Structure 1
Amino acid sequence: MMSNFDNMIIRQRKWMLYWLAILVLCAGFLPYTRILLGLILGSSVSLYNLWLLQYKSNQLGETIAAGRKARSGLGTFSRMTAAILAVVIAMRFEAYFHLYAVIFGIVSSYVIMALDFIFYQIIVYKRGEDRPL
Structure 2
Amino acid sequence: MEKFQQMFLRQQKYIFYLLSLYTLGWGFTEYKTLFLSLILGTVVSLFMLWSLVRKIEKFGRAVAHGKKVRSIGTFSRLAAAALAAAIAIQYPQYFSIVPVVLGLMTSYIVIIIDFLLQKFQKNGYHV
Normalized against structure 2, the TM-score is what?
0.93
Question: Residue 83 of structure 2 corresponds to which residue in structure 1?
Answer: 85
Partner letter of residue 4 of structure 1? K
Query: Helix, strand or coil for the counterpart of 2:124?
Result: helix
Q: Secondary structure at the match of 1:78?
A: helix
Partners of 2:65 and 2:82 lie apart in 1 by 35
Q: Any unmatched runs of 5+ in structure 2?
A: none
The aligned counterpart of 2:124 is 126
Matches of residues 91-106 of structure 1 in structure 2 within 5 Å?
Answer: 91-106=89-104
Q: How far apart are 1:103 and its partner, in Å?
A: 0.5
Deviation at 1:125, TM superposition (A): 1.2
> C-alpha displacement at 1:69, in angstroms?
2.2
Cα deviation for residue 3 of structure 1 reads: 2.3
Pairwise CA distance, 1:9:
1.1
What is the CA–CA distance in structure 1 between the aligned matches of 2:106 and 2:37, rounded to whole Å?
12
The 1-side partners of 2:65 and 2:122 are apart by: 30
Q: Distance in 2 between matches of 1:90 and 1:106?
A: 12
Q: CA deviation at 1:17?
A: 1.1
Task: Please give the alpha-carbon distance, in whole angstroms, between the structure 2 residues aligned to 1:73 and 1:22.
Answer: 35
Report the counterpart of residue 6 of structure 2 in structure 1: 7
Matched, 1:62 2:61: yes
Give the residue type in structure 2 aligned to 1:117. F
Amino acid at match of 2:83: L
Report the Cα distance in structure 2 between the residues aligned to 1:53 and 1:106, rounded to whole angstroms: 14
Percent identity reads: 38
Paired residue type of 1:14:
K
Task: Return 2-11 or 53-62, whichever deviates more.
Answer: 2-11
Give me the whole-angstrom Cα distance separating, in 2, the residues matched to 1:102 and 1:40.
8
Query: C-alpha root-mean-square deviation of aligned residues, in Å?
Result: 1.3
- Tell me, in whole angstroms, the C-alpha distance in 2 between the residues paired with 1:13 and 1:54: 11
Which residue matches 2:33? 34
Listed as ranges, the matches of 1:8-23 within 5 Å are: 8-23=7-22
* Equivalenced residues, count: 125
